[in-house]
């Protein structure tokens, strides 16, 4: 079985074959995505894409977060960007991608268009997310390190699979949809720290809807746009990993998905947690610190090691700034903290000069270690591994608290309304998202 056949089989997997824990995690991702999207609806990139939606016009069947409705493809574009605008969404570290923001907007837009149950949205998202992970893992580390943004590249294939499932495409049509996506998927890491990064997520979602819809209309493509000659993997990865098409489907890789509890790049979270774990640092002033030495996986050095951020958005990608904020007691989980004035904070700027960040190939993407040297000569050891699992009940509580911090009482209402999706429709979800902040 080729990778594309494997993905097609995944797209068509019956609902009763989807693992229970993976479905629970997918429901958590829906609620987390909704909260992030509603909180990001007022961001400039979200406003600009709503303006584009209005200019494009068309029959509005799908909800746009914060304002009205639009054709499914445009709604997916706007909602993908809005939900990634704060960079506060989930991450899967096996391929370094944000799954919810590229795939849920496509799944919801299509599901509203066809008036599907809310549960079908979650199922479509889950198979799309699993497809994105598996394709992303074949693209491999070389794809990401070469400069591609997996949220947008592998994510576009996930969005296509989710949309294709909801449209009810047959196997031949799904092959063509994936082939069409192979010539549409795009997204660069050079956009990090700009409006282009959340736009990448919107483009992935939009591509998914477009490619599935075109395949449903009978448009054809290359037989194997993934692994075939001059296909996406061959042209977009200098050193792809071996294709793993093993089954059975008793456990999904999506079950390892991680959720952000700090409103900044996920690559910095292990450092933040390590500093918070160090009880000896509690109550310390920045002037008490002589030096901070940090080791992280080398891939993060190209992502979140901005030494002198110029904006609040760039602060989210700066180990140096975030280390000082954490020690000082700033609320790194509150996205409202990341104003542009933060980049001009003189205390953080002075502390940043004390921070050294080095790459260490022995550390995974979720691990960090280091030392904090105090002015009095004391040395504090740091270590944290984000891969340590959280019980579902504990995770649900943390994500609900995050939603409440992001959007207040509306966050509580989301969890009350959609924690149990029985009897709910995609259009119920859409109506909740349309309400302005």
Across the strands, what pairs with 373?
Answer: 291, 379
Spatial distance between the Cα atoms of 97 and 361, rounded to a whole number of angstroms:
20
C-alpha distances in Å from residue 394, one per residue of 334, 398, 407: 20, 6, 20
Taking CA 249 as the corner, what is the angle to CA 248 and CA 252, rounded to the nearest 5 degrees? 130
Determine the average pLDDT of the residues in 279-304.
Answer: 94
pLDDT surpasses 70 at 86: yes
Please report the pLDDT score of residue 388 as a whole number: 86
Tell me the per-residue pLDDT of 16-29, one tens digit each, with 9 for 90 and over. 999 999 999 999 99
* Token couple for 175: 């092959």
Name, in order, each residue with C-beta under 8 angstroms of 399's C-beta and a sequence gap of 6 or more. Answer: 28, 31, 32, 259
Which domains occur in the chain, in start order? 3-258+392-434 (1.10.4100.10), 266-385 (3.30.1330.120)
pLDDT band at 336 (very low <50, low <70, confident <90, very high): confident
Radius of gyration from C-alpha coordinates of the chain: 21
Q: Is the peptide bond before 182 cis (omega within 30 degrees of 0)?
A: no
pLDDT band at 247 (very low <50, low <70, confident <90, very high): low
Tell me the per-residue pLDDT of 193-229, one tens digit each, with 9 for 90 and over. 899 999 999 999 999 999 999 999 999 999 899 999 9
Determine the average pLDDT of the residues in 330-353.
Answer: 93
Determine the average pLDDT of the residues in 256-266.
Answer: 90
Q: Where would I find the beta strands (DSSP E) of 280-354?
A: 289-296
Residue identified by tokens 């933040």 is 272
- Measured torsion, CA atoms of residues 53, 70, 111, 162, in degrees rounded to the nearest 10: -20
pLDDT surpasses 60 at 309: yes
239 CB neighbour count, 10 Å cutoff: 11
φ and ψ of 72, to 5 deg: -55, -45
Name, in order, each residue with C-beta under 8 angstroms of 211's C-beta and a sequence gap of 6 or more. Answer: 156, 160, 163, 177, 178, 180, 181, 184
168 CB neighbour count, 10 Å cutoff: 10
Starting at the edge strand found earlier in the chain, the sheet holding 367-374 runs 355-359, 289-296, 367-374, 379-385
Determine the average pLDDT of the residues in 358-373.
Answer: 96
pLDDT surpasses 80 at 249: no
Taking CA 112 as the corner, what is the angle to CA 106 and CA 118, rounded to the nearest 5 degrees? 90
Residue identified by tokens 């909260």 is 35
- Relative to beta strand 355-359, strand 69-70 is unpaired
Per the prediction, the chain carries an average pLDDT of 94
Give pTM, 2 decimals: 0.86
C-alpha distance across the termini of the chain, in Å = 48
Determine the average pLDDT of the residues in 83-93.
Answer: 91
Please report the pLDDT score of residue 126 as a whole number: 98
Determine the average pLDDT of the residues in 380-389.
Answer: 93
pLDDT surpasses 90 at 57: no
- Measured torsion, CA atoms of residues 327, 331, 335, 341, in degrees rounded to the nearest 10: -60
Spatial distance between the Cα atoms of 218 and 74, rounded to a whole number of angstroms:
21
Determine the average pLDDT of the residues in 159-176.
Answer: 98
386 CB neighbour count, 10 Å cutoff: 19
pLDDT surpasses 60 at 437: no
pLDDT surpasses 70 at 246: no
pLDDT surpasses 80 at 59: no
């Amino acid at each position: 079985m080729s990778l594309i056949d494997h993905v097609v089989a995944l797209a068509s997997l019956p609902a009763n074959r989807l693992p229970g824990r993976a479905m629970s995690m997918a429901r958590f991702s829906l609620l987390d995505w909704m909260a992030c999207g509603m909180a990001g609806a007022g961001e400039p990139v979200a406003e600009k894409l709503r303006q584009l939606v209005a200019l494009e016009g068309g029959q509005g069947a799908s909800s746009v977060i914060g304002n009205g409705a639009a054709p499914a493809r445009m709604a997916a574009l706007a909602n993908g960007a809005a939900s990634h605008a704060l960079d506060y969404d989930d991450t899967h570290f096996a391929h370094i991608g944000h799954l919810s923001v590229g795939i849920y907007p496509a799944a919801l837009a299509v599901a509203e268009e066809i008036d599907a149950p809310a549960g079908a949205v979650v199922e479509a998202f889950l198979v799309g997310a699993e497809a994105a992970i598996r394709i992303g893992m074949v693209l491999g580390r070389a794809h990401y390190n070469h400069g591609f943004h997996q949220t947008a590249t592998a994510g576009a294939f996930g969005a296509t699979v989710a949309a294709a499932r909801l449209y009810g495409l047959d196997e031949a049509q799904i092959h063509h949809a994936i082939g069409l996506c192979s010539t549409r998927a795009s997204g660069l890491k050079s956009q990090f720290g700009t409006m282009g990064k959340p736009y990448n997520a919107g483009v992935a979602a939009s591509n998914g809807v477009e490619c599935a819809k075109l395949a449903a209309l009978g448009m054809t493509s290359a037989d194997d746009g993934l692994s075939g000659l001059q296909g996406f993997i061959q042209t977009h990865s200098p050193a792809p990993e071996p294709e793993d098409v093993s089954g059975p489907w008793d456990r999904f890789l999506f079950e390892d998905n991680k959720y952000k509890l700090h409103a900044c790049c996920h690559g910095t979270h292990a450092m933040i947690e390590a500093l918070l774990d160090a009880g000896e640092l509690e109550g310390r002033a920045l002037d008490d610190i002589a030096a901070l030495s940090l080791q992280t996986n080398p891939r993060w050095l190209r992502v979140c090691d901005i030494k002198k951020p110029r904006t609040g958005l760039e602060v989210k990608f700066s180990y140096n700034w975030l280390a000082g904020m954490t020690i000082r007691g700033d609320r790194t989980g509150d996205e409202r903290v990341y104003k542009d004035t933060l980049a001009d904070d003189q205390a953080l700027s002075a502390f940043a000069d004390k921070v050294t960040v080095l790459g260490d190939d022995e550390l995974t993407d979720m691990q960090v270690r280091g030392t904090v040297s105090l002015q009095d000569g004391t040395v504090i050891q740091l270590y944290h591994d984000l891969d340590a699992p959280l019980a579902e009940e504990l995770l649900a509580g943390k994500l609900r608290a995050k939603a409440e911090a992001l959007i207040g009482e509306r966050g509580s209402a989301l969890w009350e309304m959609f924690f149990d999706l029985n009897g709910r429709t995609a259009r119920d979800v859409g109506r909740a998202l349309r309400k302005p902040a």
